[in-house]
Structure 1
Amino acid sequence: MACCDYPIAAADCDGAFTVDASRLTFGRGCLAEVGDRAGALGLRRVALFSDAVVAGLPIFAKARDSLVAAGLDVVAYTDVHVEPTDASFRDAARFARECNPDGYVSLGGGSVIDTCKAANLYATHPADLLTYVNAPIGEGKPVPGPLKPHIACPTTAGTGSEVTGIAIFDLVSMSAKTGIAAPALRPTEALVDPDCTASLPREVVAAAGLDVLSHALESYTARPYVRRRAAARPSLRPMSQGANPWSDLGCREALRVLGQFLERAVNDASDTQAREEMMWAATLAGIAFGNAGVHAPHGMAYAVAGLVRDFRPSGYPVDEPLVPHGMAVILNAPSSFRFTAEVSPERHLEGARLLGADTQGAGASDAGEVLAGELIRIMRAVGMPNGLGGVGYTDDDVAALTEGAYPQQRLLQNAPREMSKPVLADLFRQAMRYW
């Protein structure tokens, strides 16, 4: 949809949209640039964030050596928790305050990059953890000023955290995921090196890739920016501003790339072209959803991940119950898009077509089922569980899942249809089993 194809905004809605993104470097081997990039930002003492697994890989030594070769003092923090919690965010912030670096480098997946964002925030502007956390779970107070420079180097093709101002964590006391969303959290630069994904297990590639798919599809079908109530001041315009002409470009191309390369990247670790294309799709979708926002599948996923009991996915180096983020998202996607399709059937059909579905002869009334069917086909092809039942949930859990998802209003209000508690409960029930 072109800019002129969007309807004119109503009097109380916004007629403009904002585009933000980190400075981006993309290409094989670009991780070696991190030392020069950090030096160019004027850094002298750098906190290098990672997790225990990545810290043992050659890419960690490559990043550290590049920083040292540039004459920088490097202090490493490798205790990042996979799927961060409020406690692990506090631990990282404590390290950052004590370390007092000039800036940060994060090397890892979304958990590492998000933890680094939070550490930078709370070390620069100390406050109680819930101060900046999204309302209604937290106080949702604005970040009072800029943060220190942060160069993000992703090692998974999925979260897009390297180009967004969002940091997600588990609030253990509520058994739910929540997060912080502020433009100040967006990394200063992103070094996206496809070589960093070479050793990823297929299960991680699959879950991360499906997160990319959901970023693109949710942003493409989100409530249009011209239907969002205008902020009190332009500077308060939210990052989740709704579908817009800029985000549409990234979403469509990301979906096309995913349709062509996702299954290849999952099923053949030696397919370097597919892995590189997946990194590109993740970057495109990350910039897109960082300026449009996601909606129901992600909002529902936070409850799915937060209430997990016994599920332990293969391919992940953790010895605790875990529903990986991308998996938690995609399990809700078919039921959600069946529900939202009536608002913009043409966009739902276009999403299905870009992913590879045959949409010839399909009409508006078919859009939800066509898209859901293509998503289910992809889920099966890359080894996802059969709905929420496949990760241990039953109909008896619907009430708890609904209560866990409903507070995610930042996401749910971006959906094209109202996500009331009865609607969410029905979507969770429909997501229990797909085949």
Structure 2
Amino acid sequence: MSGAPAVRIARNAAQRSTSLLRAIQFAHPPTCPCHSNPNHHHAPGTFSSARRALATPIDHSRQKEYAFEMAASSIRFGPGCTKEVGMDMQNLGSKRVCVVTDKNVSKLDAMKQVHEGLGKVGIEYTVYDRCRTEPKDSSIKEAIDFAKPYQPDAFLAVGGGSVIDTAKLMNLYTSFPDAEFLDFVNAPLGKGMPIPGKLRPLVAVPTTAGTGSETTGTAIFDLVEKKAKTGIAHRNLKPTLGICDPLNTRTMPSAVHSSSGLDVLCHSLESWTAIPYHERTPRPENPINRPAYQGANPISDIFSLKALHSTVQYLPRAVKDPEDFEAQSEMLLAATLAGVGFGNAGVHLCHGMSYPISGQNPGYKHKGYVTDNTIIPHGVSVAVTAPAVFKFTGASNPDRHLAAAEAFGVDISRVKRESAGEVLSEALAEFLVKLGDQPRGLKDLGFKNEHIDDLVEGTIPQQRVLMLAPTLSNEVNEERGQLRQLFEQSMSY
């Protein structure tokens, strides 16, 4: 083929490719004001559009980021798909599997399916069932000590985010047995070293609808000595496969539905409002050092906003009616969507502030949780500051905050942009109150004003997420003052 027809075909193909790329990069619901306004994001101090970012010359002097990476586990979603897990491990070539769970989940049908599936294909396996809800460094080390001598060639996690995160770290330190525990832990609490190579296969079977851990490269735990919650974040931690079976979430008590759903809510809101990826500094000299949490980007936006809409619609139903299987299924899907979104864009203030809230628990035990330990569930600890946080961040990007408020059913047609944060804050508070059985501030968790200084100091080390927070100062003393004000405002709502 030659001449004019070939030129026209090439030109048409190029135009189609360009149109498709633009559709992918800028695909948002038509009601989203962030993208219906062609001038949006061009003002100083707000998001720049992806189009503008791609057209802007690389800023060598400031070393801003110029690229983002999308990474997520393979996901299988569908009722009953847990029964395929034996074949999955066989297809991965596994012959010696470490199954990771906890005492409660070990009695449920999900584990029955695992026993039957692995037994049917004749794979050798052992079960570690001592995972702790909201794991501590001590419980993680105990799990690692169990896995190392067994030397599995694959891991299978069955449970909530705590179980899956524990399995990720068992996998990490079994794959790199000579590493010290703090080598990979997020700086400044740990050394923050990148994971140097691939890990063994890990299949994750979530039994809660919240963390999205089945698709992320993040594992969170309490570092007791530092009185801080931290973790490890790297793409190599991602499970090989997430098996999302809605039948497995039907056993969740209402309180667990509620708190895990609040984690989805904040995952989606924080990743949607995080700084854009091209505003993050410094740009890594080697791509292996590009962080898992990169800032909002055109692909994560799609997942985050969809997860937010689904959570607002289905979480109240899932909490209210234990027989509403449609709502439960949709919440599991929302958790996974939010996992892809925040697993690449990151979270910011709600999560950064939640870590000392959980780690410095003054003695609170959340109603509806089957545990002998005092516990502030992770979803509760992130949501309790959300009204104050999004009122604070509203000025950074009014249009994104208005789009989020619209997801809660707010008519934003006459709302002034300068009121965006306040409007979203009020919508969030109303949603939390209507959800029921939620602490209405830090006071309800047992915190007092004299605890605020320790909460601030416990938040400061969370730079991995704080760096993605819009409107938060880079100057330490000013940052402390802003965090103090946020904790004060979060004492009650």
Look up the match of 1:399: 453
Equivalent of 2:295, from 217, 238, 242? 242
Query: Are the aligned partners of 1:6 and 1:226 in contact in 2 as well (CA < 8 Å)?
Result: no
Give 1:355 shift: 2.7
Query: Are the aligned partners of 1:10 and 1:226 in contact in 2 as well (CA < 8 Å)?
Result: no
Look up the match of 2:463: 409
- Deviation sequence 1:388-411 (CA, Å, 0-9, x none): 111011111110100011100000
Look up the match of 2:111: 60
Equivalent of 2:472, from 409, 418, 425? 418
Equivalent of 2:88, from 33, 37, 53? 37
Matched, 1:342 2:395: yes
Query: Are the aligned partners of 1:335 and 1:431 in contact in 2 as well (CA < 8 Å)?
Result: yes
Query: Are the aligned partners of 1:355 and 1:374 in contact in 2 as well (CA < 8 Å)?
Result: yes
Give 1:143 shift: 1.2
Look up the match of 1:215: 267
Equivalent of 1:231, from 284, 292, 296? 284
- The whole-number CA distance in structure 2 between the counterparts of 1:29 and 1:372 is 39
Matched, 1:255 2:308: yes
Q: Report the more deviating stretch, 82-91 or 359-368.
A: 359-368
Equivalent of 2:78, from 19, 27, 39? 27
Query: Are the aligned partners of 2:50 and 2:297 in contact in 1 as well (CA < 8 Å)?
Result: no
SS of aligned partner of 1:187: coil
Query: Are the aligned partners of 1:64 and 1:74 in contact in 2 as well (CA < 8 Å)?
Result: no
Q: Which letter maps to 1:416? A: P
Matched, 1:314 2:367: yes
Look up the match of 1:190: 242
Q: Report the more deviating stretch, 111-120 or 63-72.
A: 63-72
- Deviation sequence 1:297-353 (CA, Å, 0-9, x none): 000000100000211111111112111000000001111111111010100110111
- The whole-number CA distance in structure 2 between the counterparts of 1:219 and 1:206 is 20
Equivalent of 1:101, from 146, 152, 162? 152
- The whole-number CA distance in structure 1 between the counterparts of 2:226 and 2:311 is 34
Q: Which letter maps to 1:401? A: L
Look up the match of 2:102: 51
Q: Which runs of 5+ in 1 are unaligned?
A: none
Q: Mark the structure with the bigger radius of gyration.
A: 2
Look up the match of 1:84: 135
Give 1:234 shift: 2.4
Give 1:418 shift: 1.9
> Could you say if the C-alpha distance between residues 4 and 141 of structure 1 is closer, same or farther in structure 2, counting changes exceeding 3 Å?
closer
Q: Which letter maps to 1:386? A: R
- The whole-number CA distance in structure 2 between the counterparts of 1:277 and 1:158 is 11
Look up the match of 2:41: none
Query: Are the aligned partners of 2:82 and 2:243 in contact in 1 as well (CA < 8 Å)?
Result: yes
Equivalent of 2:350, from 276, 287, 297? 297
Query: Are the aligned partners of 2:194 and 2:289 in contact in 1 as well (CA < 8 Å)?
Result: no
Query: Are the aligned partners of 1:357 and 1:374 in contact in 2 as well (CA < 8 Å)?
Result: yes
SS of aligned partner of 1:146: coil
SS of aligned partner of 1:393: coil
Q: Which letter maps to 1:431? A: S
Look up the match of 2:439: 385
Task: Provide the TM-score with structure 1 as the length reference.
Answer: 0.98
Quick one: percent identity of the two aligned structures? 43
Equivalent of 2:225, from 152, 173, 179? 173
Q: Which letter maps to 1:256? A: H
Q: Which runs of 5+ in 2 are unaligned?
A: 1-24, 27-48, 474-478
SS of aligned partner of 1:94: helix
Q: Which letter maps to 1:423? A: Q
Give 1:196 shift: 0.6
SS of aligned partner of 2:126: strand
Matched, 1:370 2:370: no
Give 1:259 shift: 1.7
Q: Give the CA RMSD over aligned residues.
A: 1.2
- The whole-number CA distance in structure 1 between the counterparts of 2:109 and 2:304 is 33
Alignment of 1:5-16 (within 5 A): 5-7=51-53, 8=56, 10-11=59-60, 12-16=63-67
